[in-house]
Amino acid sequence: MSAPAREPFFGNIPAVVTGLCALIVLVSALVLLGPGPWSDRILAAAAVQIGPARLPRLLGPYLPFVLHVLVHGGWLHLGLNTLGLLAFGAPVARWLQALHGPRRGALDFLALFFLAAIAGALSEALAIVLTGAPGAVLIGASGGLMGLIGVLVRLNYGQSFTPLPLFSRPVMAAMAPWIGLNLLIGLFGAPGVSAPIAWPAHLGGLFAGAALAGLFARKD
């Protein structure tokens, strides 16, 4: 008897998710492993700088709100975000492609991810302004990743094909642990991580993804 065919490890992950992860790993690796001048220029081009500029703004102040997802401050930061994107991005991409077809679904996935990341960066900026903090340099895909988690919360983690009402009890109950975890990180930090964690960006991305889920679920 012949052995059953085994599916490839990434066979169940849509190409748009693996492609996004590959791009993030490539750019982040250039920052982490490349020559100093290269690393500095990529970081200066992509990082969101809130408050006084600490690096040359090579691409101006606005484009980094999109590009900051491509660079990470260390291998742990990169690894956690990449694994999170593979785990939480795959079901969101499959859902959007089931709704709108492969090509439109892939474009919707990227739009949703980057909109959540932008919302996260804006939330971080607002938190810094409101608290009078001196400023920050924001990098990483965490805001966009939290947006994908927000979508999954609306879908009851895959149990529902149609997003649940945003302010329904199941959605609020599912959001609570993510909100609590990020508030704890904001107060006490994360084990093994010395750099400040942009928890307002995480929460901004989470709420943006949850809010956008209903919009992206609409059929033309």
Query: Which range marks the domain in which residue 107 is found?
Result: 15-216
How much is the average pLDDT of 147-154?
A: 97
Predicted pLDDT at 3: 45
Residue 71 domain flag: yes
Predicted pLDDT at 190: 62
- Say if residue 52's pLDDT is above 90: no
Give the pLDDT confidence of 108-143 residue by residue, as tens digits: 999 999 999 999 999 999 999 888 888 889 999 999
Q: Which amino acid is at 152?
A: L
How much is the average pLDDT of 178-203?
A: 80
Residue 4 domain flag: no
Residue 49's φ and ψ, nearest 5 degrees, are -110, 110
Residue 163 domain flag: yes
Residue 192 domain flag: yes
Tokens of 123: 């939330």
Residue 32 domain flag: yes
Residue 154 domain flag: yes
- Say if residue 10's pLDDT is above 70: no
Residue 50 in 3-state DSSP?
Answer: strand
How far apart CA 15 and CA 173 sit, in angstroms, is 32
How far apart CA 133 and CA 205 sit, in angstroms, is 21
- Say if residue 4's pLDDT is above 60: no
Per-residue pLDDT band for 91 (boundaries 50, 70, 90) equals very high
Counting the structural domains of the chain, the total is 1
Residue 7 domain flag: no
Per-residue pLDDT band for 2 (boundaries 50, 70, 90) equals very low
Give the pLDDT confidence of 163-188 residue by residue, as tens digits: 999 999 999 999 999 999 988 887 77
Residue with tokens 């599912």: 174
Task: Please provide the average confidence, as pLDDT, over all residues in the chain.
Answer: 89
How far apart CA 94 and CA 5 sit, in angstroms, is 23
How far apart CA 218 and CA 191 sit, in angstroms, is 40
Predicted pLDDT at 193: 57
Predicted pLDDT at 133: 80
* CATH code: domain of residue 155: 1.20.1540.10
In the chain, DSSP assigns E strands to 48-50, 136-138
What number of CA atoms fall less than 13 Å from residue 4's CA on the CB side? 3
Burial class (CB in 10 A: 0-12, 13-18, 19+), 41: middle
- Say if residue 5's pLDDT is above 50: no
- Say if residue 220's pLDDT is above 80: no
Give the pLDDT confidence of 92-108 residue by residue, as tens digits: 999 999 999 999 999 99
Residue 5 domain flag: no
How much is the average pLDDT of 11-24?
A: 94
How far apart CA 77 and CA 103 sit, in angstroms, is 30
Per-residue pLDDT band for 78 (boundaries 50, 70, 90) equals very high
How far apart CA 131 and CA 199 sit, in angstroms, is 14
How far apart CA 89 and CA 141 sit, in angstroms, is 12
**Inter-axis angle of helices 102-131 and 15-33, nearest 10:** 50
Output Rg (C-alpha) for the chain, integer angstroms.
18
Residue with tokens 């990180």: 185
Q: What are the counts of helices (DSSP H) followed by strands (DSSP E) for the chain? A: 8, 2
